[in-house]
Amino acid sequence: MADFKVIISTNEIAGQIAAMLNRQNKLQRKHSMLTIVQSPATYFVEVVGSVVVGCTALLCTHHSKVSKSFHTSVSPYYRGRGIGKKLMSATLNNCTTPFIYGTIRADNVASLALVYSVGFKPIKKTFIKNHYIITVGRSI
């Protein structure tokens, strides 16, 4: 059986994910190569050459039978080509709990369209600080 090795290093992938999230995802917390490497999540990544152009994270929390989907991001030039959907499908195929959820700002039309396109449904709407957050989820 052949053994396949990716040339780009783990730290390089993590650093690029952190930079992409900091640039695009309107997160409260700034990320670094270390915060991503030390995360307990599994990251699915799309790489072109040695550049990470998309990512999404999956955190399976077995004790509660619910997993979390988060940190989904695609570089602007590569959007609208199905990369987000491909990454979300990988998440769903690798999810080992019966249910998965995520939270998305209500004004984030692209992200909501993405998760609805792979079967998530809105569960609740919460007002936090100055904006609404939609919790979305689906059975596996």
> 28: which DSSP letter?
S
* Identity of the residue, 63 or 86, whose beta carbon is nearer to ligand COA in the bound complex: 86
* Identity of the residue, 1 or 94, whose beta carbon is nearer to ligand COA in the bound complex: 94
Least distance to ligand COA, CB of residue 8, Å: 20
What are the strands, taking DSSP E only, across 33-130? Answer: 42-48, 51-61, 66-74, 99-105, 121-128
∠ CA 14-79-75 to the nearest 5 degrees? 30
Least distance to ligand COA, CB of residue 110, Å: 3
* Identity of the residue, 95 or 136, whose beta carbon is nearer to ligand COA in the bound complex: 136
* Identity of the residue, 12 or 105, whose beta carbon is nearer to ligand COA in the bound complex: 105
Least distance to ligand COA, CB of residue 44, Å: 12
Asked whether 49 and 14 are in contact (CB, 8 A), the reply is no
When CB distances to ligand COA are compared, the closest residue is 84
List residues binding ligand COA (CB under 6 A).
Answer: 24-25, 72-74, 79-85, 104, 108-111, 113-114, 117
Least distance to ligand COA, CB of residue 27, Å: 8
